[in-house]
A and B are shown apart, each in its own frame.
Chain A
């Protein structure tokens, strides 16, 4: 079955650490996206990529970095520069309609 897989489901980060969230899709989609969900704020776009080796900043890119070396993969790194990283992170792929992964809950400890 085609789909989009995020891992891990839960992630704990210590202050000052970088962590990387994985996102893999086998839907043959060119475009992939990272969103962050906070209570009462909906889904906010962090980064997106419309093609391999190319990506653009979304609305809240500060403190995050991405890479797109393969069509199937779009990992997100939450750096120590992100001051409030505790959130639910969602990866998606597609063009007119998105298919979402099941999300990663990141908590700073």
Chain B
């Protein structure tokens, strides 16, 4: 049972345009959401997070939006840069300790 889903395995955008990565979840008890960025053969690095009491959080070019009624979050990257090309994972904090549940990942490719 996949509690966190990223339905797009890949996304390709032009440099300078907006990248929108989507994530859906099923458990209404999730209260904290994170995005991680991962390059091949490396560990994921933390990008941005949002608490369930908010609907938006910004950090530079990265903005995460949370729609609790739709159980949906999205990551916007504006403007996209070639160095943003990586796999992006969304994750949600479950109601059992600090265990994070990860989505399958979306591979973003930003073309120059």
Contact = CB atoms under 8 A, between A and B. Distances in A.
Question: Taking chain A's interface residues, is the majority helix, strand, or loop, or is none over half, making it mixed?
Answer: strand
A88 B41 contact: yes
Interface in B43-102: 43-46, 49, 89, 93, 97-100, 102
A62 B105 CA distance: 24
Contacts of B103: 42
Nearest to A102: B43
A31 interface: yes
A103 B41 contact: yes
B98 A103 contact: no
A63 interface: no
Interface string B24-46: 00000000101010000111111
Instruction: Identify the interface centre among B32, B99, B103: most chain A CB within 10 Å of its CB.
Output: B99
Contacts of A2: none
Contacts of B36: 100
A56 to B, nearest CB: 9
Given A31-B97, A42-B89, A50-B97, A100 B102 contact: no
Sort chain A's interface into a size bin. 20 to 34
Interface string A22-35: 00000000010101
A68 interface: no
A86 to B, nearest CB: 14
Nearest to A101: B43
A94 B98 contact: yes
B92 to A, nearest CB: 12
